[in-house]
Amino acid sequence: MTRDNTLATMATRPASYRWMQLLMGIVCMAMIANLQYGWTLFVNPIQEKHGWSRAAIQVAFTIFVLAETWLVPIEGYLVDRFGPRPVVLVGGIMCGIGWVLNSFADSLPMLYVAAAVSGIGAGAVYGTCVGNALKWFPDRRGLAAGLTAAGFGAGSALTILPISAMIKSSGYESAFLYFGIGQGVVVAVLALLLTDPRNVVSSALKAKAGRGSENPAVPQSRRDFKPSEVVRSPVFWVMYFMFVVVAAGGLMATAQLGPIAKDFQIGDTPVSIMGLALPALTFALAIDRVLNGLTRPFFGWVSDRIGREPTMFFAFGLEAFGILALYHYGQNPVLFVVLTGLVFFAWGEIYSLFPSTCADTFGSGYATANAGMLYTAKGTASLLVPVSSVLVSMTGSWHAVFIVASALNALAALMAWFVLRPMRRAHIEAANDAVRTGAVPASEAPVMAH
């Protein structure tokens, strides 16, 4: 497509066009959410039918998470090279195939293969939808990435009950088969409607092309850094370390919520808040679903206005406080539920803040691949979560776990303000100066500015 044709096409698209693209990405994310958040419903039925140990079955989930996380940079590269449509299409088909294989899996190796297939597919959809949101909304990256990530975080809420009902009525095999086909078809159909913002851009975005955000609190690079350049940049590794630290700190507290409630002897204690009465642990897990989705667009929206690092400083500091407060006051069932909600709310925003910060720092042209490389920090953090169990066995209490988790978040909050903020500003100023002076070839300037 020539430059003139591109500009003509851009002029014909209404301002609402990019919002439709964003909505389709959110729906795609909701369709793949069950692959992670709905898995727990299938573990017991699989164990009852085949007699495999719970640990052996959960290896499949570990394979899924690793495949979903660690291959995103490769899938992101393909998106930046060929556009979002083919990657999401193949990803949706693989997600469907993975769950169909689960329905027929009569051996652990087959279950593991299905997990790898669905993990690769989910990672392709996840990485593409987040990357596309970053490209379509250079002026509202935090909000766009947050809404997209919220689709994954809360996407399983509407289908958990139907899946559970089908498992009880028709068996887990039917649930895997029909929901796998249904979710895969929805993603595949929507993939055909996704558009590469480099080729077709809405009129709202046309005026912003090459300029990005006009908010001085959200500086953005006018140069596109290739993944090979990004991995050599110190500011990327500062962000990566912070992502790992916050993710690991939050997971240490939240992943062990059940054992913590049991040790506090409040898990089954009824709690009534605003007319809703549930056992304390059930209440806390229900709040997780809601706040884990709400926090991502909320803090993303805040960061679009006051800046990424100030938002990180506040959110990570709030998480550090919440974890400590949960340890000191969590023996009270009502406070356990409230403070758990605070911890979840101050933790899930990492999936909107870090992708938007990455795109601001390294440009839009390779945003999907670059954000994918940063997203692997989630996989790195998950490998550190067992440390919490080691700390409990060594010390005999949860004290060390809460102290370490709180300290990690406090460290990340301080790094956001005193380390990342000055490093990013210097990096962006140098990149923009290089573009202004012509030191950077035109091919390395933002793609949408061409």
| Of 135-149, 174-188, 194-208, the least confident | 194-208
Q: Is residue 411 located within the same domain as residue 323?
A: yes
- Output the pLDDT for position 9: 44
Asked if residue 445 has pLDDT above 60, the reply is no
- Output the pLDDT for position 201: 52
**Residue 92 CB coordination number (10 Å):** 26
CA angle 445, 449, 450 (to 5 degrees): 85
Q: Is residue 254 located within the same domain as residue 378?
A: yes
Bridge partners, residue 279, by sequence: 270
- pLDDT greater at residue 14 or residue 167: 167
- pLDDT above 90 covers a percentage of the chain that reads 60
| Residue 59 identity (one-letter amino acid) | V
Q: Is residue 89 located within the same domain as residue 184?
A: yes
Q: Is residue 189 located within the same domain as residue 300?
A: no
SS3 197: coil
- Output the pLDDT for position 450: 30
In a domain, 348, yes or no: yes
In a domain, 201, yes or no: yes
Bridge partners, residue 271, by sequence: 278
Q: Which of 157, 174, 206 is the last residue of a domain?
A: 206
Quote the distance between the C-alpha of residue 414 and its chain's center: 23
In a domain, 239, yes or no: yes
- pLDDT greater at residue 276 or residue 147: 147
Q: Is residue 189 located within the same domain as residue 236?
A: no
Asked if residue 135 has pLDDT above 80, the reply is yes
d(CA 136, CA 10): 12
**Could you report how far apart the first and last alpha carbons of the chain are, in Å?**
12
Q: Is residue 279 located within the same domain as residue 402?
A: yes
Asked if residue 292 has pLDDT above 90, the reply is no
- Output the pLDDT for position 98: 97
Banded pLDDT at 281 (limits 50, 70, 90): confident
Assign residue 14 a region: left if phi > 0, alpha if psi is -120 to 50, beta otherwise? beta
- Output the pLDDT for position 441: 59
Pull the structure tokens for residue 347: 């933790």
Domain extent for 350: 227-438
Assign residue 265 a region: left if phi > 0, alpha if psi is -120 to 50, beta otherwise? left
- Output the pLDDT for position 209: 47
DSSP category for residue 107: S
Asked if residue 287 has pLDDT above 70, the reply is yes
How far are the Cα atoms of 12, 20, 139, 447 from residue 16, in angstroms, in the given order? 12, 6, 15, 22
In a domain, 344, yes or no: yes
Q: Is residue 201 located within the same domain as residue 239?
A: no
- Output the pLDDT for position 200: 65
Asked if residue 93 has pLDDT above 80, the reply is yes
| Of 208-217, 255-264, 350-359, the least confident | 208-217
If you compute the radius of gyration of the chain from its CA atoms, what whole number of angstroms results?
Answer: 22
Asked if residue 113 has pLDDT above 80, the reply is yes
List b or e across 190-212, with b for residues whose CB sees 16 or more CB atoms inside 10 angstroms.
Answer: bbeebbbbbebbbebbbebbeeb
Asked if residue 444 has pLDDT above 60, the reply is no
Asked if residue 344 has pLDDT above 90, the reply is no
How far are the Cα atoms of 80, 137, 364 from residue 19, in angstroms, in the given order? 20, 9, 18
What is the CATH number for 97? 1.20.1250.20
| Of 110-114, 248-252, 330-334, the least confident | 248-252
In a domain, 446, yes or no: no
| Residue 155 identity (one-letter amino acid) | G
Pull the structure tokens for residue 84: 């979002």
Please compute the mean of the pLDDT values over residues 202-216 and round it to a whole number.
55
Banded pLDDT at 182 (limits 50, 70, 90): very high
- Output the pLDDT for position 14: 77
Asked if residue 168 has pLDDT above 50, the reply is yes
d(CA 84, CA 72): 13
- Output the pLDDT for position 382: 81
Among 132-146, 153-167, 188-202, 382-396, name the most confident range.
Answer: 132-146
Torsion of CA 87, 444, 240, 195, to 10 degrees: -30
Q: Which of 141, 173, 206 is the last residue of a domain?
A: 206
Q: Is residue 384 located within the same domain as residue 321?
A: yes
Q: Is residue 117 located within the same domain as residue 192?
A: yes
| Of 21-25, 42-46, 205-209, the least confident | 205-209
d(CA 198, CA 195): 9
- Output the pLDDT for position 178: 96
Banded pLDDT at 180 (limits 50, 70, 90): very high
Place of tokens 């009950």: 161
pLDDT tens sequence across 7-29: 444 445 677 899 999 999 999 99
In a domain, 213, yes or no: no
pLDDT tens sequence across 211-226: 445 688 899 999 999 9
pTM here?
Answer: 0.87
Among 72-76, 274-278, 326-330, name the most confident range.
Answer: 72-76
d(CA 222, CA 388): 42
CA angle 212, 70, 424 (to 5 degrees): 35
Q: Name 68's Cβ contacts closer than 8 Å, sequence gap at least 6.
A: 35, 36, 119, 120, 122, 123, 126
Structurally, how many domains does the chain consist of?
2
The DSSP secondary structure of 222-290, one letter per residue, reads SSPPPHHHHTT-HHHHHHHHHHHHHHHHHHHHHTTHHHHHHHTT-TT-EEEETTEEEEHHHHHHHHHHH
- Output the pLDDT for position 258: 76
CB 129 within 8 A of CB 28: yes
CB 156 within 8 A of CB 41: no
Mean pLDDT of the chain: 87
Quote the distance between the C-alpha of residue 256 and its chain's center: 20
In a domain, 31, yes or no: yes
Q: Is residue 281 located within the same domain as residue 151?
A: no
3-state helix, strand, coil in the chain (%, to 5): 75, 0, 20
- Output the pLDDT for position 6: 40
Q: Is residue 179 located within the same domain as residue 252?
A: no
Nearest CA-CA partner of 368 in 25, 44, 10, 39: 25
Q: Is residue 46 located within the same domain as residue 116?
A: yes
- pLDDT greater at residue 421 or residue 275: 421
pLDDT tens sequence across 392-437: 778 877 778 888 889 999 999 999 999 999 999 999 999 999 998 8
Asked if residue 318 has pLDDT above 80, the reply is yes
d(CA 307, CA 327): 31
In a domain, 56, yes or no: yes
Q: Name 358's Cβ contacts closer than 8 Å, sequence gap at least 6.
A: 236, 239, 367, 370, 371, 374
